[in-house]
Every structure is written in C-alpha cells, then in structure tokens.
Amino acid sequence: MNIIPEDSRPNIKRLREILVVLAEYEFGSVIEKIGLRNRLPFSERFYFAGSVDEELDSSVSERLRLVLEDLGTTFIKLGQVISTRPDLVGDEVSQEFTKLQDNTPPFEYEIVKSRIEEELGAPIGEVFSSFDEKPLAAASVGQVHRALLKDGSAVAVKVQRPDLETLVKQDITIMRYLANLIDKRIPKWQYYNLPGIVDEFERSILKEINYGQEARNAKRFKTIFKGDKSIYVPEIYDEYCTSHVLTMEFIEGVKVRDIMENPELGEKFNGKTIARRGAESYFKQVLIHGFFHADPHPGNIYVLKNNVVCFLDFGMMGHIDDEFREELAELFIFIINYDIKGIISQLIYMGIVSENADLKSLKYDIMDLMDRYYDADLKELGKIIKDLGTSKIMEKYQIKLPRDFVLLGRVITMVEDMGQKLDPEFNGVEISKPLAKKLVMRKLSPLRILDFIGGNFFEFEHLMKILPRSISKTMMKLEEGKINIEMEHKNLDALSANIDRSSNRISLSLIIAALIIGSSLIMQTNKGILILGFPFLGIIGFIISAVLGIALVISILRYSNI
C-alpha cells in the first residue's frame, strides 16, 4: 500500500476553502477536470456547464488575480513571483498579477509585544525605551513599528505574523498537490510546468519570510556600496534580529513614488541626479557584483538629503554568477551595437538558443524585435531583454529562458521606467554601456588567467595527483591486453537486416549460377537416364535453377530493390 508522507498530505479543510474560492470565480470545470468536485461542500457541487477552454476566456487573468487576493498571503506571494515570469505565463497574466493588492489588516499590539518578547527573550521595555503601538505599515507577512533603542537610536522593527511559516508550508503542500493533478490530467497545461513553478516559489518565499536571511542580504548589500556617498543602506542591529523579528535603522526620507507623483516634492530634489544614481547603482549590482535588489518598485526606494538614494526591503534578491555576468555583458554590447549576428551567436553560446533552431528565421524575428526600439536612439535596454524573453520568438522556438535572465529584464525595465519619470531625457543604455565594456575588458585581461588558475588551484592539484596513477593503470592494462572497449550502436537494426538480405541474395545467385553451369555440362554428356534425348539430372538442374531464379526476382521486386 502506498502511504503518503504526513508532511506531503494537503490539509483537507484548507483545500476545501481554496476549491470554494476557485468555484466562486468560475473555475468549476478545472476542479471537475482534476477530479476534486467531491471535495467541495455539498451545497457548492453545482453542475459545471462550461468547459475548461470556455473558462479560460478574456477575463481569466483578472479572475485569477482575484482568487489569489482572496486566498491570502501565500497565494499573493505566488502571484508576485509569477508576475516576474512572463516567459512562462504570458504578458497578459504577468501584467495583471503586478496589480495584486495586499490588504491584510494589522494585527493587535498585544500579539506584537508577545512575539517580540518571545523572540528576543526579554520584556519589550528592557529592549526599547519607547515603542509605537500603531504600525507604520502592515502586510500579509508582517508589520513595521517605529521604536527607540536604549541608546536613543531610532529603529524600524518588522514583526512577522504568528504562525505564518506553518500557513505558508501548508499552502505550498496544497499548491504542489494541485499542480501535480493539473499536470497529469490537463495535458495542454504541461508546457507551463506548474510543479516546477511551485518548487521555484517555495525556494523564494521561504527565503523571503526568513528575516535572518533578509538581515544578511542587507549587510551584504551595504558592503557593495561601502564608500559610495550617493547610495545609502540602513544599518542592521543584529542583536535585536531573529528569523521572525528584524530591527533596522529608521529612515527619514521621501519615497521615489511620492517624488514622481507630487510635483512640489519634485522641485525639492534633482530628478536627473536621482535617476542617474539609481540606474548606475543597479547596473553596478548586476554587472559588477551579481547580487541585486529584485523588487525595485518606487515604494522600496527612498531619497534622502542631497539626492542620496536609499534602498529598503531586502527580502527578494537576485543572484548572477561570474560566468553569466560576463555573458550578459557581451549580450548587452551586441544589443547596443544592433549586432543581430552577434546577438544570435551569444544566445547560442549562453545555451538559450539551440544550434538546431532555424537560425535564418530567428535572425529576421530578432531584427523585427530590435526595429521596434531603434528610432533616433536606443534607450530601453530593459524592455528589449524583457521582450526577448516574453515575445513570440521564445514561444515559436520553444525556448525557456533562465529565471535570472527574465527577472533581470523586469528589474531593469522598472529602473528605466522610474528613471524616465524622474528625468524625461534619461538613457539607461548610456549608463550601462561603460560598465558592460569594463566587464568585457576585464575578461580579456592577462590577469584573468592568473585569477582562473587561482580559482581552480585545488582542481589542478587533484588532477596532478590522479593523472599519473590513471596513466600507469591504463598502460598496464594495455600491456596485459585487458582493455575492454564497449560499443553501443543506435538505429543499426535496419542496416543489419538489409545486409543479411543482400548476402542471402548473393549466396542464392551463386547457387543458381552453379546449378546452371553444372546442368549445362551434364546435358552435353548424353549419359544416364534420358528423357526426350536429354539427361534427366540436367533437366532437374535447369528446373531447380528456374524456380530459384523466379523466387529471387520476386524477392527483389517485393522490396523494390532492383
């Protein structure tokens, strides 16, 4: 009997809640198709007249968004992750999910107080000299309160909702259960790889709700911009941080969103300077450090005095390894230079496009894509990268781009949009070009060889230890004649059959020729039993030769191999 592990069984009560919400937003046929209609309350088991295709009409994106909002924290976060993957779900769903609203009301101060005291192991009055009971902001994951430490430092304290981690894990189990059912029972949806999306989401959200990870991200981010007076990162107070409580420096500043929406605030700051500093910082994060803020919406970026840009909320971060950064920089340069051949070659080198693809057709498709952005000047690098990962080009050639590539396109697009709203003359390409060229030149530097040797020193050392021994063993086996070579043939069965058939025909032809020659010689002897004056054996030889010859001709005609 197949017993499902306890931690992989969906919570039936929560599953029923999810199915009820799906039914309310007209996804009844999907429920029926995956065999879960009987899980609905009896009163909800109405007849689903429509088909799955009919339910996926023009309103499906909006209805899906409303489903996620009704289901709460985990599903809202799922929608936010999916909104970064237009390559999988399409532009329409991706854009709709960017509208997801987190309208969760704040929880009571007594819960906040109890949570902090439990996490920090001390009464709240011993940790803070004052603590505002009213939250500055609230969301489904947690809420933020302003407080003062005993030394007078103003801090923002982020407190996670109680039992959030348990709820998230419970919902992920149900998501995986539903994704596997859909993947098995609705074949046309297998292309979206829903189980894979759930796995990716699980990794993302478990990091995001771990405030200890967010604190480490913030400190690493601060190190990147150490000494850069144009960028500021809040201080993290480690002694007052746990996986459920985060205490950081309180920032007195103005949100970039407020500056964009309020002309009066815009006059107090220099939009051109803010746009340039924000974009430079992002390209530095991406191309130089490979560690970037993956949620740069205008509410997460503040502006301080003297147009200093300050980043907040480090729960969602992107990572790019050295090799991918160098490849990306080269791709940027090909895009900037409108080098279609170079773009295609680079996409092949990066493993994004297969060499077996119709490269001639792909060339014209990329030319059409690039022509949309080339007027007087190229300014929208992020949109080109994003469109490259979401356009019909990728669907046509069945290409799935790496998650980091698509996420990066979205992030750069958001940065460029903010830059253009702050400064109408903003040009992201001109900002990214020097950094991309610098990275490519670094790759060509002779010192890179020394870095490569240093980075792979232990591998070289292991190879040098193993190599003599392996060569010695191989030579000994050669001398003893004990080298075994295993060969595997593929698709040779048909060839083998044809060779057998041909050899049989040749053998038969030789037998017929021998019979004819032998019979001819016997016919000339006039000895033995005679029939009509001809030797009996000679006549028999000719008859057998004729029968075999006819059979051979029929065989050749049958297999069309004349």
For 86-123, how does the pLDDT look when each residue is reduced to its tens digit (9 = 90+)? 766 777 888 888 888 777 788 999 999 999 999 999 99
What pLDDT score was predicted for residue 234?
A: 95
Q: Structure tokens of 214?
A: 């967010």
Task: Write down the pLDDT at residue 189.
Answer: 77
Residue 274, pLDDT above cutoff 80: yes
Pairing of strands 309-311, 231-232: parallel
Distance CA 387, CA 412 (A): 12
Taking the C-alpha atoms of residue 108 and residue 92, their distance in angstroms, rounded to an integer, is: 38
Q: Which two tokens stand for residue 483?
A: 């080298």
pLDDT digits (tens, 9 = 90+) for 24-65: 888 888 888 888 888 777 666 554 545 555 556 667 888 899
Annotated catalytic residues are 295
Q: What are phi and psi of 327, to 5 degrees?
A: -65, -40
SS (H, E, C) 472-524: HHHHHHHHHCCCCCCCCCCCCHHHHHHHHHHHHHHHHHHHHHHHHHHHHHHHC
Residue 469 φ then ψ, to 5°: -65, -40
Cα atoms in the 13 Å half-sphere on the side-chain side of 493: 2
Query: Is residue 367 pLDDT above 60, yes or no?
Result: yes
Measure CA 370 to chain center: 24
Q: pLDDT category, 344, cuts 50, 70, 90?
A: confident
Torsion angle (degrees, nearest 10) of CA 273, 277, 280, 282: -130
pLDDT, one tens digit per residue, over 281-322 is 988 898 888 899 988 878 889 999 999 999 998 988 888 888
pLDDT class of 543 with cuts at 50, 70, 90: confident
Structure tokens at 86: 């237009």
Q: Average per-residue pLDDT in the chain?
A: 80
Residue 245's pLDDT is what? 96
Query: What type of residue sits at position 336?
Result: I
SS3 category, 260: helix
- Percent of the chain, pLDDT > 90? 22
| Helix, strand, coil fractions of the chain, as percent rounded to 5 | 65, 10, 30
The residues pairing with 302 across neighbouring beta strands, listed in sequence order, are: 255, 310
The greatest distance separating any two alpha carbons of the chain, rounded to the nearest whole angstrom, comes to 136
CA dihedral sign, ordered 66, 71, 72, 73: negative
Q: 218 or 348: which carries more pLDDT confidence? A: 218
User: Which string of DSSP letters, residue by residue, matches 14-29?
Assistant: HHHHHHHHHHHTT-HH
Most confident residue range from 194-198, 351-355, 408-412: 194-198
Pick the residue with more confidence: 506 or 181? Answer: 181
Residues 555, 505: contact at Cβ < 8 Å? yes
Per DSSP, what are the bridge partners of residue 130? Answer: 148
Give percent above pLDDT 70 in the chain. Answer: 78
Residue 402: which of 414, 415, 385, 416 has the closest Cα? 385
Q: How far apart are CA 493 and CA 296, in angstroms?
A: 59
CA 244/CA 248 separation, integer angstroms = 13
pLDDT confidence of residue 1: 37
Amino acid 205: pLDDT: 87
pLDDT tens by residue, 483-521: 666 666 655 666 666 777 777 777 777 887 777 877 777
Using alpha carbons, select from 374, 479, 483 the residue that is nearest to residue 429: 374
Q: Which two tokens stand for residue 391?
A: 């356009």
Burial class of residue 287 (count of CB atoms within 10 Å of its CB; 0-12, 13-18, 19+): buried
pLDDT confidence of 561, banded at 50, 70, 90? very low
Could you give the CA distance from residue 329 to residue 481 in angstroms, rounded to a whole number? 52
DSSP state letters, 526-544:
--SSEETTEEHHHHHHHHH
Terminal-to-terminal C-alpha distance of the chain: 61
Q: Which residues pair with 138 in a beta bridge?
A: 143
What pLDDT score was predicted for residue 2?
Answer: 41
Q: What is the pLDDT of residue 113?
A: 95
